[in-house]
């Protein structure tokens, strides 16, 4: 199996995690599958609404959710 196929399968598995896992954990798995790693993290919330609200505080010109 080629590394591209393996990577694709890892990304697909990580995307499926969004259905039943917390957003931070699923996002971390997706970034890992894409080859990104970091010791740094930011707590921007565990729901889409809280994530968008936290982003808005840094970029108010994006508008309210």
> Which pLDDT tens digit goes with each residue over 12-45?
999 999 999 888 889 889 999 999 988 888 787 7
Q: How far apart are CA 34 and CA 21, in angstroms?
A: 18
Is the pLDDT at 64 greater than 70, yes or no? no
Q: What's the whole-number mean pLDDT along residues 1-7?
A: 79
Q: How far apart are CA 53 and CA 48, in angstroms?
A: 9
Q: How far apart are CA 5 and CA 14, in angstroms?
A: 14
Contact 24, 46 (CB under 8 A): yes
Contact 59, 51 (CB under 8 A): no
């Amino acid at each position: 199996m080629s590394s591209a196929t393996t990577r694709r399968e890892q990304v697909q598995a990580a995307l499926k995690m969004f259905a039943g896992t917390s957003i931070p954990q699923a996002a971390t798995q997706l970034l890992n599958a894409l080859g990104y790693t970091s010791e740094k993290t930011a707590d921007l919330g565990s729901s889409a609404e809280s994530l968008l609200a936290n982003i808005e505080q840094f970029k108010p010109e994006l508008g309210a959710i």
